[in-house]
Structure 1
Amino acid sequence: MAKKKRKPDNTPRRKRFKRAQRLEAARSWLPTYEGKDIVKGYRKRYGVDFRCAFTELEMLGVEIDPARKEQTLRDVERQAEIRRQKKLERAAELESTFGWPQDDRFAMIIGYTSGGAPYGITWEEWEDIQTEDDFEP
C-alpha cells in the first residue's frame, strides 16, 4: 500500500517559526527593514501579536517607547473585551428570543460536555424540523 502524500503547507515558513527561530531570522531582517513602524512590520512578517512583537523586539535590542507599548496593549485588551461583550450580547439576544440557550452553531443548546463544548440541535437540523412541520396536514 502506498504511503499517503502530505499536503503542502501554504503558510510561509517564517510564520511557522518558534521564538528562537524568529529571533535568529529577525537579527538579519532588522537592518534591512525600511518601513516607518518596526512593530507593525515585525507583526506582519512573522505573524505574531502585539505583545509578542514588543517582547521579541526588546530582546533584539530595539528601542520601543514605553508609553506607546502600554497604550497599544491597553487598546488590544479593550478590543478583545468589546468582542467578548458583543458575543455575549448576541447570545443573550438569541436566548431571549427563543427561551433557551443558542449560539452561531446550535439552535438549541441542550447541555455541555465535561470539556465545555456545547451539544444540542444545530441550525441545519432546526430548519429540517421546521420544514417537516410545514409539510404535515
Structure 2
Amino acid sequence: MTRAGRLASATATQWVRNYTGKNLVCGYCKWFAVDPLCAVIELRALGAPISAEREEQLRRSAERKSKDRAARKRQRAEDRDEYPDSDGTFAYIAGYTPAGFPYGVTWEELGQEPPWL
C-alpha cells in the first residue's frame, strides 16, 4: 500500500483515535507494515503528537540495527574466507558427488561445533 493509501485508510477508519495500545508508533508499524521512521512521519501527518526525542530515539535505533547487521555480514564473510573448505555441516568438504552434494568430515564426527557459531 502506498503512503497515500495508508493515510487515507487511517483517516477513514480513524485509526489513531481508536488505537488502544500502549505504543502508537509500534502499533502503526505492525498494522500498516512500515518501518518506525515512516510511521512517525505518517502519524504526524495524521495529527498524532510524536515528540522529537522519540523520533531521534527511533532514528538511533535504526542506525544501530543497520551497523549491527553490517558487522554480522562482515563477520560471516570473514568466517567463510577463513574456512573455505567447510560449511555448517562439514568441517572439511572433500568433494562433491555428481549430483552436487558435498561429502567429507562433519563437525559432529570431529566432536566440535563450527567456530563461527
TM-score by length of 1: 0.60
Greater relative contact order (Cα 8 A, min sep 6): structure 1 or 2?
2
Q: For structure 2, list consecutive stretches of 5 or more residues without a partner in the other structure.
A: 89-98, 105-117
**CA apart distance, 1:103:** 9.3
* Structure 1: segments with no counterpart, 5+ residues: 1-16, 105-123, 132-137
Q: Which residue of 1 aligns with 2:100?
A: 125
Write the distance in 2 (CA, Å) between the matches of 1:97 and 1:72.
37
Change (3 A) 1:63 1:21: same
Asked whether the equivalents of residues 44 and 50 of structure 2 are also in contact (C-alpha less than 8 Å), the reply is yes
> Deviation at 1:98?
2.1
Count how many residue pairs are aligned between Structure 1 and Structure 2: 93
Query: Does residue 1:77 correspond to 2:63, yes or no?
Result: yes
Contact 2:16 2:48 in 1 (8 A): no
Following superposition of structure 1 onto structure 2, how do residues 1-137 of structure 1 map, counting pairs within 5 Å?
17-27=1-11, 28-98=14-84, 125=100, 127=102, 130=103
User: Which AA in structure 2 matches 1:33?
Assistant: Y
Equivalent-residue separation in structure 1 for 2:59 and 2:9 (angstroms): 25
Amino acid at match of 1:125: G
TM-score by length of 2: 0.69
Shift of 1:39: 0.5
Alpha-carbon displacement from aligned partner over 1:10-59 (angstroms, at most 9, x marks no partner): xxxxxxx2111100111221221111211011001101001110110111
Q: What percentage of aligned pairs have identical amino acids? A: 36
Does the 8 A contact of 1:35 with 1:41 survive in 2?
yes
For 1:126 and 1:91, the matched residues in 2 are separated by 22
Say if 1:97 and 1:103 are closer, same or farther in 2 by CA, change over 3 A. closer
Runs of 4+ deviating beyond 2 Å: none
The residue matched to 2:100 in structure 1 has which SS?
A: helix
Distance in 2 of aligned mates of 1:54 and 1:79: 18
- CA RMSD in angstroms comes to 2.5
